[in-house]
Chains A and B, each alone.
Chain A
Amino acid sequence: MSAPLTALHRCCQRSALLLVARRPWSSSSASPPPLHTRLLLYLAQRYYDVEMLMKWSSNLKKRGLQKKNAYYGYTQKFYGGDIAAAYFILSLKGRIRFLGQPAWLHADQSGKFNWDFLNHKDTPLEEVDLSYTVINYTGLGNLERQGSLRTLSLRGCPEVDDWFLGRLHIFQDSLEELDISHCPRITTGGLAALRNLKGLRRLDMSSLPGISSPGLVAILLEEMLPQCQITAIGYDHSLKQEEEEEKEGQVEAQR
């Protein structure tokens, strides 16, 4: 009677030990930052020069992002909103397709593109692919008047956040397909903003690391957008912790 109990007890103790031992290598926020970060922080706290340099570097990064997402006011004035939007997307290395045109336009590896799109004056955009670009909230202002945009892909955009999704209401009458998969900064609070896109037919929300309970969120989204087909893959829906404990129990039993 007591033998299995003691075995169980030992097993529990071991797993607790394992948990404690594993902690230093886990990537939780409680773990200390790597050595070079700590060194940099120490230097920044000690020397004004280092602090200043770090501030400059972050400001430079910020300014670069701002420049890429600037408002294309001049282009809009001289060529109209559609050309400005196309030019903006092509300079971000995105892909576009004008309404009624079969061909996609895109920039090549070095960021150069064909200027033939200038011929499509006053033709609105129908499909836009901005995957893996640095578009942010401000940059979206360039697409404000694209009332006939049907497809938008924002796959893997590091700067797309909840406020960006909140501003997507500018396409509320036309947008049918939206891909926001692999965007690291999207959370549940932003997905609630998709309520304005009543015409949405297809939504891809795979692999969003900022969502805590993806299964529930996907169901609630389906409820909110009944005509929309929602893709949510890349999530581990299993109960992770219990599984791990089971595994440990099995290993223990094998010993």
Chain B
Amino acid sequence: MPDTAPAAVRADAPTDGQPIIEIEGLNKWFGEFHVLRDISLSVNKGEVVVVIGPSGSGKSTLIRCINHLEEHQQGRIVVDGTELTDDVRNIDQVRRETGMVFQSFNLFPHLTVLENITLAPIRVRKWKKSKAEERARFFLDKVGIPEQALKFPGQLSGGQQQRVAIARALTMGPKVMLFDEPTSALDPEVIGEVLEVMVALAQEGMTMIVVTHEMGFAREVGDRVIFMDQGQIVEVGTPEHFFLAPREERTKAFLSKIL
């Protein structure tokens, strides 16, 4: 008998919930480099999953696969009942239901804050301009910067820009929010204002997958924490489990460095 690969660690959602994201046996290569290895992960509606791990561990690539900004080569990704295939209609369907927040904000610099937020609702959801603007102002209010609506992104601070980016994603009415290191590019004194918005969002019951180095956030609002290293899921557990009694050596080594 040939040697079989060691069984991968699965990160299944609790069985009492209703899964909205299901990833099964996901593999991805960049050229020859095996960046994601046998990832199996499911997320329930309303869950907040925090993904941590050293840089280069594949955690950003993983959540970028969920809205198909990265293409996977093996495995299944199903988001709210739609499987991601090469079919563009499926991809667009999934992207409409998932909001994404990037490390570098990626606001459109040639559009005002309001236009940044209303562009996709008007063009993709086909809302009337008045409805889109009304919803946009509602979410700008929610992230605490209603007075910035008519400014350009370049006139805002980093923390304000990231809050606009969150409002932009929320206005589309997504079922899932993906956060790709949302506070890594921010000055220390404005990280708090962005985290506050995210905590409020989690408490309202939004389904969230958050790639972050903010352990305080993971501990406070995370339902589950996933530790990744070298393209694999190494350990899964509640925040209490992670920060009080991690099992794996690699997890312990990583946590001891950043805590």
**A and B are interacting partners:** no
Q: Which residues of B contact A (CB under 8 A)?
A: none
Q: Which residues of A contact B (CB under 8 A)?
A: none
